[in-house]
Chain A
Amino acid sequence: MQIETQTSKRTTLKLLCVVCGMFGFGFALVPLYDALCDLTGLNGKTKGQYVVDEQVDEQSETDVSSRRVKMQFLASNNADMPWVFRPVSRSLSVNPGKLNATEFFVHNPAGRTIIAQAVPSVTPFRAARYLHKTECFCFDQQKLVGGESMDMPLRFIIDKDLPEDIKTITLSYTLFDITEQISGELAVTN
C-alpha cells in the first residue's frame, strides 16, 4: 500500500509553512513588544529626546498650575559595575509643565577606562509617557578613564496631562558596563 499519498504530502507542506511562520512570529514578538511598550509604557521605559514645542512651552510659562509632583531619583549598578553612581538630589518637588534640571554623579574608581550605558525605568509605568526628557545622559554612552568623576545632566518636563492620582514618580537608572561590547564592535569594524 502506498502510504505517502499526494494529500499527505500537501498536508505536510502546509504544516511546515505553519512551523516556519511561527518561528518568524517568535522573532516578530520583539518589535511587537517594543511597539506595545511605546504605546502603553508597559516596561516603564522613557522615550527618546523630547523636542520642546515653543507654543506649548510659552503657554506653560503663563499657565503655571499650583500642582506639585514629587519626583524621586534612584541610581543602581548592574552586576560587576564598579562605578560610584548616585543622584545629586534624591528627590525634587516639581511643577507639571515646567522645565526641571538635576544631575547624577558618577566616579570611576577602577584603574581602567570603562564605557557605561544607563537604562531608565519609571514607576508607576503609566507615568512613563508623561515624563519628557529634553536632555539625558542615558541618550549617550559615558566613558570615564580610571579615577575620573563627572556630573551628568538630566533635564525634563512632566506633562501637564499627568493623571491627577499620580503624586509621586520614581525615575530609576541602572548603569551597565558595556566596555567589552563596544570594544568588540570596534574590533569588528576595524
Chain B
Amino acid sequence: MSAVIEEHHHDDHHHGPAKGLMRWVFTTNHKDIGTLYLWFSFIMFLLGGSFALVIRAELFQPGLQIVEPEFFNQLTTMHGLVMVFGAVMPAFVGLANWLVPMMIGAPDMALPRMNNYSFWILPFAFTMLASTFFMEGGAPNFGWTFYAPLSTDQGPPSTTLFIFAVHLMGISSIMGSINVVVTILNLRAPGMTLMQMPLFVWTWLITAYLLIAVMPVLAGVVTMMLMDIHFGTAFFNAGGGGDPVLFQHVFWFFGHPEVYIMILPAFGVVSAIIPTFARKRLFGYPSMVYATSSIAFLSFIVWAHHMFTVGIPLAGELYFMYATMLIAVPTGVKVFNWVATMWGGSMTFETPMLFAIAFVVLFTIGGLSGLMLAIVPADFQYHDTYFVVAHFHYVLVPGSVFSIMAAVYYWLPKWTGNMYNETLGKTHFWLSFIGINVLFFPQHFVGLAGMPRRIPDYALQFADYNMVSTVGAFLFGFSQLLFMFIVIQTIRGGKKATDRVWEGAHGLEWTIPSPAPYHTFSTPPKDLTEAHG
C-alpha cells in the first residue's frame, strides 16, 4: 500500500496530478488541498445557509408555523457552529493554502503531509456533528456558545459527540495554522524580508498565531465540559463548588480572538484587491501591519465585553469597555488606508472590487454597532437582542463572507486559467448586496425595540421588520446558487486569462502562468520587486 502511495507521490512530482479520485485523498499539493478546503467550505456554507433559511421562514410571521421550538433551538446552534467552524474558517485556510506559497515564492507548504491530514479531519468532524440531528434527543440546542451548565446539565445526549467534533475541528485548525506559520517563517524566497510580504500573508501569519494560542483553550473548555458530564467533576456546576461564570470567562477568552481569526485574513484579501483596481500602491503598508498586530494583541484582553450583564465589578466593566473601544483605533487606521488607497486612483469596478468596496462600507457599519455594544450601560439594554445579531452578521457576512467571494473572483482566473463571466459576477454581487442589507439592516431596529435573539416566536410589533428580513434572507440565500454556477462555468471554460489577469495586479502569484501549474517556484524567484502590491 505505502509503495503505491510513494509511486503516486513520485509521479506527482514530475508529471502533474495523479489521475482519479485517489488524487484528492492522498494529495499533498497545496493547490489541491486549497481547492478541497474551498469546496468543503462552500458545501458547509450551503448547509449552514439552509438552516438559516428555515429559521428565517419560521420567523416570517409571529406564531409557530414550520418547526417546533426544540428543533428551532437546534437549528440556531448548528447554523452558528457550521458557519463559524465549517464555512468561514476553512475558506480562509483554503485561500491560505492556495495563495501563501505562491505569494512568498515557495514550492509548497512546509508540512505537506500534515496539510493533507488537517483537511481530511474536517469531513469526519462535520459528519459527526451533523449526524446528531438524527439522534435521540436531537442535535445540540444550547446555542453555538454552549454556555454551561445549560449544555452540561440540560443538553441532549449528543452533546458528547458535539464535544468530540469540536476537538477534531480544533486539531485540524491547529495543524493548519502551524503549517502556515512554518511556511511563512521558513520558506520565503531568499531575500524576501517580513516587511516585503503581501498583506494577505501578514494577516494570515498573525491569524495563525491567534489560532495556535486560543484553539487549545477551546479544547480545554470542552474537555472540562466532558469531565463535568461524564466524570463527576464540577468545573461549571455550582452545586459541586464550580462556577458557571467561569465557563463564560474561559469560553470568551477563546471566543474573542476567534472573531478576529475570522476577520484578519479578510483584511488581507481586501488589501490585495483595492490597490489592483485603484491602480495605486496600498496606502500605508507598515501602518497596516502594525494595526493588524495591535488588533490581534487587543483581542486577548477584551473578552468580558461579551458578558457585561453577568455581574462584573464596576472597575472591570470600565476597563473592558475602554479596552474594547481602543480596538476602533487600529481598525480606523485600516479603513482610512483603504479609502486613501482609492483616493485619486484610476478605479474600475470589476466584481472583486465591488465586493471589496462593499466590504469596507458594510464592515464599518458592523464595527460601529460593535462600538455601541461596547458601551456598558447601553449594552445592558442591547444584550441578547437582535441588535447583537445584526452587529455580528454585519461583520461576518458582508465582512468575512464578502471578502472570501471577492477573493474567489479575484484569483479564480489564476486558479483555473479562465475568466469568469463579468455580467453574471456583477449580477451576483448586486443580488447579494441588496439581499444582505434587506436581511440584516431591519434587525438593528427590532433589536433596539427589544426583540430577544434565539426565539422561534415573537411579539406582534416586530412582525413587519421580520417579514422584510426573511425576504432579504431568501434573496441572499438563493443568489449563492448563481455564485456556484459562475464558479463551475469558469472551471469548465471561458475566455483565457492572461498571466497578469488584472492590469494593476502586483505580487509573485501574477508572474506565473495562468492556470497556475501544478508545481510552482520549484526554484525560488530571483526578482522580488513584484513581491507586494
Contacts and interface: CB of A to CB of B under 8 A. Distances in A.
Nearest to B218: A26
B249 A8 contact: no
Contacts of A19: 174, 178, 212, 215-216
Nearest to A5: B186
Contact of A15 (B181, B187, B237, B239): B181
Contacts of A7: 186
Which bucket holds chain A's interface residue count? 35 or more
B249 A119 contact: no
A42 B239 contact: no
B326 interface: no
B479 to A, nearest CB: 40
A181 B240 contact: yes
Interface in A8-35: 8, 11-12, 15-16, 18-23, 25-27, 29-30, 33-34
Contact of B212 (A4, A15, A42, A174): A15
B220 A43 contact: no
B413 to A, nearest CB: 28
B232 interface: yes
A97 interface: no
A22 B173 CA distance: 14
B214 A22 contact: yes
A185 interface: yes
Contacts of B110: 3-4, 8, 11-12
Contact of B232 (A25, A119, A176, A181): A181
A20 B219 CA distance: 11
A11 B185 contact: yes
A20 B216 contact: yes
B250 interface: yes
B239 A117 contact: yes
A26 B243 contact: no
A136 B240 CA distance: 17
Contacts of B463: none
B232 A40 contact: no
B178 A12 contact: yes
A119 B238 contact: yes
Contacts of B108: 3
Interface residues of B, number: 43
A22 B238 contact: no
A185 B178 CA distance: 42
Interface string B234-256: 11011110010110011001000
**Consensus secondary structure, chain A interface:** helix
Contacts of B253: 26, 29
B221 interface: yes
B111 interface: yes
Given A3-B110, A22-B214, A178-B240, A8 B182 contact: yes
Contacts of B237: 176
Given A43-B243, A119-B238, A12 B221 contact: no
Contact of B178 (A16, A21, A119): A16
Interface string A104-124: 000000000000010100000
A174 to B, nearest CB: 7
A5 B187 CA distance: 10
Nearest to B240: A181
B62 interface: no
A86 interface: no
B420 to A, nearest CB: 32
B182 A185 contact: no
B217 interface: yes
A15 B182 contact: yes
A8 B111 contact: yes
Contacts of A11: 110, 181-182, 185-186
Contacts of B344: none
B112 interface: yes
A23 B311 contact: no
B20 interface: no
A1 interface: yes
Nearest to A177: B239
A44 interface: yes
A13 to B, nearest CB: 10
Contacts of A15: 178, 181-182, 212
Given A42-B313, A125-B313, A26 B235 contact: no
Given A3-B112, A125-B313, A23 B219 contact: yes
B186 A26 contact: no
A171 B249 CA distance: 24
A64 to B, nearest CB: 30
A47 interface: no
Contact of B239 (A12, A16, A119): A119
B107 interface: yes
A78 interface: yes
Interface string A171-190: 00010111001001100100
A22 B213 contact: yes
Nearest to A41: B313
A136 to B, nearest CB: 15
B182 A25 contact: no
A12 B313 contact: no
Contacts of A98: none
Interface of A: 1, 3-5, 7-8, 11-12, 15-16, 18-23, 25-27, 29-30, 33-34, 37, 40, 42-45, 78-79, 117, 119, 125-126, 174, 176-178, 181, 184-185, 188
10 contacts: A8-B187, A18-B212, A26-B218, A26-B220, A29-B253, A30-B224, A42-B316, A43-B311, A119-B239, A176-B240
Given A33-B249, A181-B240, 8 more contacts: A1-B107, A3-B107, A7-B186, A11-B185, A19-B215, A25-B220, A33-B243, A42-B313
